[in-house]
Every structure is written in C-alpha cells, then in structure tokens.
Amino acid sequence: MQDWLTMTACDLGRGIGMGQIDPVELTETYLSAIDAHPHRDRIYARVTHDRARAEAQAAQERARLGLRRSLLDGVPISWKDLFDTAGIVTEAGSALLKDRVPDADALVLRNATAMGTVCLGKTHMSELAFSGLGLNPVTATPPCINDEDAVSGGSSSGAAASVAWGLAACGIGSDTGGSVRIPAAWNDLVGLKTTAGRLSLEGVVPLCLRFDTVGPVARSVEDAAQMLALLEGGSPADLRGASLKGLRFAELQTVAQDDLRDAPRAAYQEAVEKLRAAGAEIIPLEVPELHEAMALSGILYTTEAYGLWRDVIEANPDAMYPEILERFRMGQGTSGPDYVAAWAKLKACRNAWDAATAGFDAVLAPSAPILPPNLDRLMNDHDYYVSENLLALRNTRIGNLMGLAALTLPTGTPSCGLMMLGYPGSEEVLLRLGSAAESALA
C-alpha cells in the first residue's frame, strides 16, 4: 500500500479497474498518510475526510458493478484553496477571506467529481495567488521536496507539495503568471498551464481574470492529460506513439536565457541535448518584442488585480502580508488609458510571437532561472524577496503574456524543469510532445 503513495494517478486508476486496488483502501491510505505527516498543516489547509470517504465508497460500488466513469474514478486528488467547495471553508490563503464558506463547488471540481475523483482536501497557497514563491506567513508555507528550508513555489504551493510528498495522487492548481509550473518544476513534477478561457473559472477565487487559468500538477504527462479531460468533461489526449523524431523546436533566447543560475542552466542544456538525441531539431530563436511585453506585465497584472480586490483590501489592509499588499497596491496608480494602451501593445507583441514561432512544433525554455529560495531569508530580506519573486515567474510569465498553452517537465536535476510553450488551445498536441519528451528525459 505504501507504493500507492508514489504511483501515478493513471496507474492507480488502472489498478482499480483491474480489481487490484480498492478505492476505499486507497483513500484511507492517503488520509492516514496526510494525518501522520509532519508537514500536514503546512501543506493542507483543510483535509476533507468525510467527503473523501463518501466519494471513495461511491467509487468502490461503481468499480464493483463495472460502471467506472473514467480512468481516474476512485483516485484521490487535492485542490488548491481557491476552488470553491460547498460547505467547506475556501480562503485563497488570505485572512481577508477568513471563514468564507461557499454554497457550491467550483465547476471544474464538479466536473472532476462527476467523473469519479476523490477530493482529499484544500491545499495552502500564496496569498490571493499573487506570488510565485509560495511563501505565506498568513496561513502556511509548504516545504519544497528537495529542501525543507526552501519554499515550494507558488502560488499553487500546496498543490505541488501534496503530490511531491506522497499526500495526493494529483493536485489541481491555477496559473496566472506561472503558478502551476513553478511549484511543479521546483518539486520535480509535471505542470500544465492551460490556455486562458479553456477551463471554467466559475467558482474560482480570481486574481487577474484575463490571465487566470486552471491546471494540474501531476507525476506524469499522462496524469496531466487525464486530469485536463476530467476538469472540462472531455476526452483525454491520445499519447500513444508519441515521438520527437522529425519535430522542430525553437530554443527561446530572448529573456528566457538571461541570468540563469548554474544548476538550472546546466539542467536545461542537458535536457535540450537529450531531446536532440531523440531526433528533434532544435533551432535558436529571438523574439525581440518579448522585451516590450515583459515590461507591460506590471501594468497589466497589478492593475487588474488591484481593481478586483481594492475594496476588500482597503477595508482591512493590516490583515495582509505586507509584501503581497505592496504588490497589489502597485496597481492603484495606473490610468484607464494607460491600461487600455498596454493591452493594445501586448496584442501587437502576441502577433509578433505568432509570426516568429509559426514554423515550430513548440518553443523550449528553462522553467525557472533559479532554484527554490530559502524561506527564512525571504522573510527577513526585502530586497531578496523582491528579486527572487520576480525571477521565479519571469520565464513562465512569457506563456501567460503570449496567451499560450505551456507544460513543464522534470529534467532529472532536482528542482529544475524544462518548459515547452505551445500554441493557444493546443493542449492535446503539447501533451503528445510532452509525453515524447518525458521519455527522452527519463
């Protein structure tokens, strides 16, 4: 049973389908592991024992009758604490929402539950999802699997930690500037950023509605593909026969290669060579317009975030972690014309990106230029906090600004990921590429 805590979600599902794994026993194994874990309260904001047991019992009966609803029917997963859960506190990591109890599940949670997944509970996150570090002195800061004294990445910090520490078979998070991919990369997991608008945001506590996306943090590309299908009520990507032979990848030079720390640089270069050895053609690519797009992100993100949260924040600003409060308030001085002009400029940058990348199957870049920063130093060194927070999300933010689907894969070097940037709405194609790359990197 201990192996169940490290198996992929799909392998667990296959075990249930073959009658080798009982969903109730599986769920009890996970609940016991969670409750006994020394980092339980740093990873889970709330564990939903009663709900998990009821859903596992229903899955057990469906399996007995041969009526399983999906490959992952009966598999236990975690949910970031910004997905509404009916009758269960959902606070998005903020004292501003303390004791907030929604009346209904978020739509993506309803979809996944309808297909048989078991909800283990709600995981900790960066406050209101506005940081790539995962540091949250207001609620809790989950630890990185490779360094317990370091942060796990944000904002879906607990989502990744729950999977990495064997406390969930898959975690569901959100990605506005890299919040699925950074914790996935730093915890040696697969993270899928979906195209904005593909998955419903109904019942999801917002940060920036024009950039917010929902996505899984998983142990394999196959798990991510299956979860995407369940979250939207669709069919999973066909990963059979995926190969890198004859494919053309762009290796992004602009912005993404700047200021790389030694370990991420070496891991990325080694990963690229493994893809090349597997038959991929890899060509350096410059997209100068990215510099302008990155410069616009301050206006675009902070203005919308502050516009959505201003009244709630200013009614009780002392309830917030000062670093996050400061980041929100950066948006209060932007004029309406400047915000509109920034979006017009971003659309022109997106057009330039589309033209530059049109001849490639995907674009490659390091998932993060840095390793997970030290928690205590982040708490006590403001300049370090600011610099590491900006660097953490720099590469992943490219995918959000350009409106892309994106995937991060573990390279085999601890806390170093390889990012693949696909076209908008190309998740199925990107997952096939990721599956082939996953094999090459292994």
Quick check: is 155 catalytic? Answer: yes
CB 194 within 8 A of CB 152: no
The CA radius of gyration of the chain, in Å to the nearest whole number, is: 20
Instruction: Indicate if 426 belongs to the active site.
Output: no
Report the interhelical angle of 23-36 vs 9-17 (nearest 10°): 140
Q: Are 370 and 394 in contact (CB under 8 A)?
A: no
φ, ψ (nearest 5 deg) of residue 366? -65, 140
Selecting among 155, 156, 174, 220, the annotated active-site residue is 155
Angstrom distance (rounded) from CA 184 to CA 418: 11
Which one of 179, 220, 297, 415 is the catalytic residue? 179
Establish whether 179 is a catalytic residue. Answer: yes
Cis peptide before 435 (omega within 30 of 0): no
Asked if 119 contacts 51 with a C-beta cutoff of 8 angstroms, the reply is yes
Q: Is 7 left (phi over 0), alpha (psi -120 to 50) or beta?
A: beta
Contact by Cβ (8 Å): 375, 141: yes
Three-class DSSP labels, the chain: CHHHHCCCHHHHHHHHHCCCCCHHHHHHHHHHHHHHCCCHHHHEEEECHHHHHHHHHHHHHHHHHCCCCCCCCCCEEEEECCECECCECCCCCCHHHCCCCCCCCCHHHHHHHHCCCEEEEEECCCHHHCCCCCCCCCCCCCEECCEEEEECCCCCHHHHHHHHCCCCCCEEEECCCCCCHHHHHHCCCEEEECCCCCCCCCCECCCCCCCCCEEEEECCHHHHHHHHHHHHCCCCCCCCCCCCCCCEEEEECCCCCCCCCHHHHHHHHHHHHHHHHCCCEEEEECCCHHHHHHHHHHHHHHHHHHHHHHHHHHHCHHHCCHHHHHHHHCCCCCCHHHHHHHHHHHHHHHHHHHHHHCCCCEEEEECCCCCCCEHHHHHHCHHHHHHHHHHHHHHHHHHHHCCCCEEEEECCCCCCEEEEECCCCCHHHHHHHHHHHHHHHC
Instruction: Identify the active-site residue in 80, 122, 193, 274.
Output: 80
Task: Cite the active site residues.
Answer: 80, 155, 179
